[in-house]
Amino acid sequence: MVNYRRNFLPGGTFFFTVTLADRRSKLLVDHVDLLRNALRFARRERPFVIDAVVILPDHLHAIFTLPPDDSDFSGRWRRIKGHFSSALIDTSTELKRRPNGSLALWQRRFWEHTIRDEGDYARHVDYIHFNPVKHGLVQRVRDWPYSSFHRYVRDGIVPEDWAGDAGQGEGNFGERVSG
C-alpha cells in the first residue's frame, strides 16, 4: 500500500482534486446547488477561503487557504463530502454502497498539493480555470458556468476572453510537459 504523506501547514494554501467513485457520473453538476450548499456549510463550521474552484461532472479542483492557526483540510473535505452525500440522500437520489454498507459516492482519497509560491499559485489557478476546456466540455473557459473564473473576470483579474478558444492552440496550464 502507498504511504500517503500530507503536508499539514497551518494557514497554508492547497490545491485539491476530489473525485467521485463513478467517473461516468454527472452528480456534481446535476446537483451543483447541493454541492455549493455543502461548501458554504463547511465554511461556516470551519472557515477557509476558496481561492479558485471548478466543478466538473465527476470531479472538482479547488484551491483553499486555511486560517493561520489551522491545518485541517482533511476535516473540511470530510464535512463537504458528508454534507453533499446527505443532501443527495435527502433528495432520494439513489447512491451505490460498498460491501460494508458505506456510501460509494466519493473516491476515498483526494489529491492535495501545497502551494509553494506565487508562480505555483498562478499555475494552479490557470489549471483550474482551463480544466473544462481540457476535458472537452466547452470551447472557451468563459462558457463553463461552474468555475471561479467568472469571479476572476468580475474582479478584473483576467479578461473574459482569457485563454481564447480551444481550437486556437494548446496551452500548458499547470500540467507537466513530457519530453
The catalytic residues are 146
Rounded to the nearest 5°, which phi and psi values hold at 21? Answer: -65, -40
How is residue 92 annotated by DSSP? T
Rounded to the nearest 5°, which phi and psi values hold at 20? Answer: -70, 155
| Residue given cell 508562480 in the structure block | 119
CB contact burial 91-114 (16+ within 10 A = b; e otherwise):
eeeeeeeeeeeebbbbbeebebee
Closest CA to 105 of 91, 90, 95, 120: 95
The helix/strand/coil state of 51 is strand
The C-alpha torsion from 20 through 22 and 24 to 27, rounded to 10°, is -50
Kind of pairing between the strands at 111-114 and 59-65 = unpaired
Q: Which grid coordinates belong to 113? A: 498539493
